Amino acid sequence: MSRAGNLVGAGVVALALTVSAYAQTPARPVTPSPSIARPLAALAASPLVPEAKPGAKPVTKPVNCRRVKCVALTFDDGPVPQTKAVLDALKKKGARATFFVLGSLAKQHPAVLRRMIADGDAIGNHSWDHAMFSRLSTPAIKRELKRTQAVIWSATRTKSHLVRVPYGENNLRLRKAAAASVQSAAVLWSVDTLDWKYRNSATVTRNVMRAVRPGSIVLMHDIHPTTRAAVPGIISRLQAKGYVLVTVDELFNGHLKAGKVYFRR
């Protein structure tokens, strides 16, 4: 054998011995360096939600709702710390949803908003404090929406282009105000769970399953404990019927126009 062949053979033997020795060595815990130990400890101690970097883009499988049965679950009036339970249920089952947040609460819980974006969910603008827009001037409506938009941007470095007017009010003046102030489409719903009225998880679930159709937009409120308790079962039942749970953007394949109103696909 040539000298080069001897060297190659020796190298292969040495590599095999190294791999064998490594396989027999007990695994040792890895101690993070001081530069990252403190951030890791702070994250582990967080009682609510893990932090995500502003503007983080999750890797999610694209969905074409022209070809599959899609439903958009939407949640209004949060976020609250307990919204974490809804996010956990969505993530566990590979589902996504849209959260129409109040600016006054979003300002208190920016980490919840970051978690939404990191998980692949969407955020919509539900005004600052749930005022009845029909009683406000157009400039006041614009202030409500812009103020909330600024909080969403500050927390996530993403711009929401979805608005849900409080109480589901819908007229041309309100839609124009939304389009002019935050360049947003108005999103309402086709399935009302009435979870604010019936504080019963079984009733909420039944109201969804009776009315849902491919392309439905479902209205719920993550501020109610009975709604949060119903979410895992609702997701499981919808998925068992072949539905894919998507964001409002995905439901319309990203084709939403500012100033228009959408009830369902």
Nearest residue to 117 via CA among 57, 43, 190, 206: 57
Q: How many CB atoms lie within 10 A of CB 98?
A: 26
For residue 204, give the 3-state DSSP assignment.
helix
Tokens of 114: 């970051």
| 8 C-beta neighbours (distance < 10 Å), count | 12
Pick from 215, 163, 167, 218: nearest CA to 185: 163
8 Å CB contact between 98 and 74? yes
Say if residues 60 and 120 touch (Cβ distance below 8 Å). yes
- Residues 236, 62: contact at Cβ < 8 Å? no
Task: Choose among 174, 50, 165: nearest CA to 119.
Answer: 50
Q: Is 76 part of the annotated catalytic residue set?
A: yes
Catalytic residue among 121, 221, 224, 249: 221
Task: Select which of 76, 121, 195, 222 is catalytic.
Answer: 76
Only one residue has tokens 């932090």, namely 51
Q: Any alpha helices (H) in the chain, and if so which ranges?
A: 3-24, 34-45, 83-92, 103-106, 110-119, 138-156, 172-182, 201-211, 225-240, 248-251
Q: How many CB atoms lie within 10 A of CB 153?
A: 14
The yes-or-no answer on residue 161 being catalytic is no
Cα gap 110→194, rounded to integer Å: 27
| Active site amino acids | 76, 221
